[in-house]
């Protein structure tokens, strides 16, 4: 009986998987006709750091705050977002931390550069966290889902509350993005 079930699972995976991965292979303009690839700029997390912001300046821009869960507060005058990214249509990969849900879909989330950022360790600097609003909603496959997010970038500092099992923490954010598309990254 167990071998029969395993065989059925294998058959289903071979039938369904190619269709799932075929969607990833389609060009972005085919999947989302409202996005012009001529103006789309794929960016990396490193590109979110302003030129001239050294590790030494970053260290000086952090303060220890005893009443915060993570104990770190960032000076936003040191961690300024790059103004030249404001209004740009961008695509960036990262990991989701849901903020607001609509049923099973996340309509607002934080996009972070590595798994567990903001949860188990002090949060990255604000210029390494993006607040994403996606009214269509994204149904996560797992906590810390790896995704591509495409949309209009806004460069302004903000603060958002991230809920934990044992409370909440105010997270400083340097960028926001109104998403036109959120797609899983196939690993």
Residue 8 inside a domain? The answer is no
Give the total number of structural domains in the chain.
Answer: 1
Q: Which of 43, 44, 48, 41 is nearest to 128 (CA)?
A: 48
Number of Cβ within 10 Å of residue 128's Cβ equals 21
Report which secondary-structure segment, H or E, holds 20. helix 2-25
Q: Is residue 15 part of a domain?
A: no
| Gap between the Cα atoms of 148 and 142, Å rounded | 15
Instruction: Judge whether 23 lies within some domain.
Output: no
Token output for 33:
């006709």
- pLDDT attached to residue 25: 40
Residue 167 covered by a domain: yes
Q: How many helices (H) and strands (E) does the chain have?
A: 3, 8
* Beta strands at 89-102 and 41-42: parallel, antiparallel or unpaired: parallel
Report long-range pairs for 165-171 (Cβ below 8 Å, ≥24 apart): 167/69, 169/68, 169/69, 169/70, 169/118, 169/123, 170/68, 171/110, 171/118, 171/123, 171/129
Query: Which CATH number characterizes residue 151's domain?
Result: 2.40.50.870
Domain region containing 125: 28-184
Nearest to 141 by CA among 178, 185, 107: 185
In a domain, 19, yes or no: no
Evaluate whether residue 67 is within a structural domain: yes
Could you tell me the mean pLDDT of each successive run of 10 residues in the chain, 187 residues long?
Answer: 35 33 44 62 96 90 65 84 96 92 92 76 87 94 85 90 68 94 88
Domain membership flag for residue 7: no
Q: Which two tokens stand for residue 114?
A: 């590595």
**pLDDT score recorded for residue 21:** 33
- C-alpha distance from residue 143 to each of 36, 85, 135, 139 (Å): 30, 28, 19, 11
pTM, two decimals, is 0.75
Judge whether 165 lies within some domain: yes
What is the pLDDT, as a whole number, of residue 30?
54
Please tell me the predicted confidence (pLDDT) of residue 65.
65
């Amino acid at each position: 009986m167990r071998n029969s079930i395993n065989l059925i699972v294998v058959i289903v995976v071979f039938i369904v998987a190619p269709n799932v991965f075929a969607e990833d292979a389609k060009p972005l303009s085919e999947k989302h006709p409202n996005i012009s690839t001529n103006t789309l700029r794929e960016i990396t997390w490193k590109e979110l750091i302003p030129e001239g912001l050294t590790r030494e300046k970053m260290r000086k821009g952090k303060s220890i705050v005893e009443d915060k869960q993570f104990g770190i507060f960032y000076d936003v005058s040191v961690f300024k977002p790059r103004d030249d990214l404001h209004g740009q249509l961008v695509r960036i990969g990262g990991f989701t931390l849901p903020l607001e849900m609509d049923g099973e879909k996340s309509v607002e989330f934080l996009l972070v550069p590595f798994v567990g950022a903001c949860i188990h360790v002090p949060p990255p600097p604000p210029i390494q966290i993006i607040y994403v609003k996606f009214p269509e909603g994204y149904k996560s496959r797992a906590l810390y889902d790896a995704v591509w997010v495409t949309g209009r970038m806004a460069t302004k500092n903000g603060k958002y509350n991230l809920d934990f099992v044992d409370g909440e923490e105010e997270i400083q954010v340097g960028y926001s993005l109104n998403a036109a598309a959120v797609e899983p990254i196939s690993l």
